[in-house]
Amino acid sequence: MPQHLKHFIEGAHTDSSDDGRLDLINPVDEQVYATVASGTAQDVDRAVSAAHAQLYGGAWSKLNGSHRAVLLNNLATLVERDLEILADMDARAIGRSRMEPRMMDVPNAVAHLRAAAGWANHLEGRTIPSSGYMGVRTLSYTVREPVGVVAAIVPWNAPLMITTWKLAALLAAGCTVVIKPSEETPQSALHLAALCQEAGFPDGVVNVVMGVGEVVGRALCEHPKVAKISFTGSPEAGAAIQRIAAPLFKRVTLELGGKSPQIVFDDARFDDAVRGCAMGLFINQGQVCAAGSRILVQKGIASKFSAALAQAAKSVSVGDPSQEGVQMGPVAKKAQYERVNRYIRQGIDEGAELLAGGVSDSAKGWFVRPTIFGKASNRMSIAREEIFGPVGTVIEFETEEEAIALANDSAYGLAATVWTSNLERAHKVAGAMRVGAVGVNCWSPLDANLPWGGLKTSGIGREGGLPGALAYTEEKVITVLLP
Ligand code: NAD
């Protein structure tokens, strides 16, 4: 019998009010390995009410920043202790090599928890010189208060890491939360919630309700006691959430998709740039919001660079990621498999040159081939739309100005990478990018102390660093008459 997972509401594991369930399917063999409770609006109401009660009058509301810092550090230690368990959960859920969550996602989650513990006691207000009140002197100051109950809605591509980005910051700010993991990957969020209990967070501060986005996600967004929605996912769902949130005046942070450029100048360290571009394309099977999937290469080195990148794609060993030597597993779900193949077909039809990979025909498991297109144009759909798979599109440019224009000619604005050994050029081009983060000679460095987020269709707001924690607060001003 597959394992059955239940919601985590007010510290207890419970089934859905209508006993609804979803299957979790292993992308390697397409077998059901667990069932999970699929929530209803009633389950959401129970979880939000528990979170609300803790925030307004419950034990949590009595804890100060120093207490919250201790609990966050406790949680960080427990996540570190359970590194292998959490890495296994996320690896199996999306068919990823366990080495990646082990080396990156779990340590990054720990770093966010420890950084947030540091912020918990430093979300300071200000003393503001004011002009007085009807001729009488005044003292005005501000305090940072928790924004309220948060709905944290999470995608499937890096479940633990993205859940923790939200959780760490909102707990530092003193908020409570209902987490809605993605349909495919709820396991590590459930484990994290159980660790919160073990760390000493009062029951009801952290709740998890699983299920379908249109049901559980929507009910959370519409709930009158939810003050803020912190969403990571597709622009389509992000837009739907904004429409719900607008008339209800809820605070919204949106971390959405990307079509990030990697600009390779002819003065770049060639091998480093090939390696870095390949990493930005193929890590996590390309299912990364910041995937550097538009490779802009200066004309003089374009042929040589495209060939080297194609060779890097061909050398990736694809298969069951639990097997020795396998570097890339399947994509996470059937819909993703079909989507990636559809884009590869489109790239061929649009006239790009297929240099490596191509359409996949996997008998069992959702395996796709690392694919590189050369001689592409920035107008093609494979250059404009987020594929969310291991597919790279190489586009040639001649001048720095042309590279900047091509890089910015996108509906998205999440991240960019600049490969060059010219220092002035690096700063100039980085400064001209209309994105939230630029890596110079390194693809997408993630750091708990740095803010992360996008422009345009890539979203609204920032997670991580001080801005990430402040996003879960409201600044209240208090004025005292001093006669
Ligand atoms: P998705 O939008 O389909 O789902 C994300 C979450 O939203 C899931 O939990 C889902 O159940 C829920 N949801 C879906 N529709 C909803 C609705 N109408 N109301 C409320 N909730 C709803 O996205 P996905 O396929 O899980 O993730 C892939 C996307 O996430 C990509 O576009 C990727 O770029 C983006 N992403 C962005 C970042 C970032 O930091 N900017 C990080 C990771 C992933």
Contact 256, 233 (CB under 8 A): yes
Predicted confidence at residue 2, as pLDDT, reads 75
Q: How confident is the model at residue 468 (pLDDT cuts 50, 70, 90)?
A: very high
Predicted confidence at residue 363, as pLDDT, reads 86
Structure-token match 């967004």, residue found: 221
Same domain membership, residue 309 and residue 252: no
Distance CA 218, CA 212 (A): 9
Pocket test for ligand 1, best of 289, 410, 450, 460 (most atoms within 8 A of CB): 289
Q: What predicted TM-score, i.e. pTM, was given to this entire model?
A: 0.97
**Residue 255 annotated to the active site:** yes
Per-residue tokens: 51: 């979170």
- Of the residues 100, 183, 184, 255, only one is catalytic, namely 255
User: 370 φ, ψ to 5°?
Assistant: -55, 125
Same domain membership, residue 150 and residue 46: yes
Contact 162, 188 (CB under 8 A): no
Pocket test for ligand 1, best of 234, 260, 457, 458 (most atoms within 8 A of CB): 234
Same domain membership, residue 307 and residue 343: yes
Per-residue pLDDT reduced to its tens digit, 154-184: 999 999 999 999 999 999 999 999 999 999 9
**Once rounded to an integer, what is the mean pLDDT over residues 260-283?**
98
Same domain membership, residue 284 and residue 161: no
Distance CA 461, CA 467 (A): 9
CATH code: domain of residue 234: 3.40.605.10
Same domain membership, residue 156 and residue 54: yes
Same domain membership, residue 74 and residue 195: yes
CATH code: domain of residue 379: 3.40.309.10
DSSP state of 62: G
Same domain membership, residue 105 and residue 243: yes
Per-residue tokens: 96: 């990823």
Q: Which atom of ligand 1 is nearest to the CA of 257?
A: 34
Compute the distance from residue 450 Cα to the ligand 1 centre, in Å. Answer: 22
Domains contained in the chain, number: 2
Per-residue pLDDT reduced to its tens digit, 365-384: 999 999 999 999 999 999 99
Pocket test for ligand 1, best of 183, 188, 256 (most atoms within 8 A of CB): 256
Per-residue pLDDT reduced to its tens digit, 82-126: 999 999 999 999 999 999 999 999 999 999 999 999 999 999 999
Query: Is 413 a residue whose pLDDT tops 90?
Result: yes
Q: Where are the beta strands (DSSP E) in 181-265?
A: 206-208, 226-232, 251-255, 261-264
% of the chain beyond a pLDDT of 90: 98
Question: Considering only CA atoms, which residue is closest to atom 42 of ligand 1?
Answer: 289
Predicted confidence at residue 347, as pLDDT, reads 98
User: 416 φ, ψ to 5°?
Assistant: -150, 155
Residues in contact with ligand 1 (CB, 6 Å cut-off):
153-157, 162, 180, 182-183, 213-214, 217-218, 221, 232-234, 237, 240-241, 255-258, 289, 386, 388, 414, 454, 459
Per-residue pLDDT reduced to its tens digit, 24-58: 999 999 999 999 999 999 999 999 999 999 999 99
Distance CA 438, CA 42 (A): 43
Terminal-residue alpha carbon distance, the chain = 74
CA 362, 367, 370, 376 torsion-angle sign: positive
Same domain membership, residue 233 and residue 268: no
Same domain membership, residue 312 and residue 233: no
Predicted confidence at residue 211, as pLDDT, reads 98
Predicted confidence at residue 418, as pLDDT, reads 98
Query: Is 362 a residue whose pLDDT tops 90?
Result: no
Closest CA to 286 of 388, 358, 185, 367: 388
Question: Considering only CA atoms, which residue is closest to atom 35 of ligand 1?
Answer: 233
Predicted confidence at residue 288, as pLDDT, reads 97
- H-only helix segments in 203-326: 218-222, 235-248, 270-282, 299-314
The SS3 of residue 130 is coil
What is the extent of the structural domain holding 50?
3-256+458-481
Tally DSSP H helices, then E strands, for the chain. 16, 23
How many CB atoms sit inside 10 A of residue 72's CB?
26
Question: Considering only CA atoms, which residue is closest to atom 22 of ligand 1?
Answer: 213
Same domain membership, residue 201 and residue 251: yes
Same domain membership, residue 145 and residue 104: yes
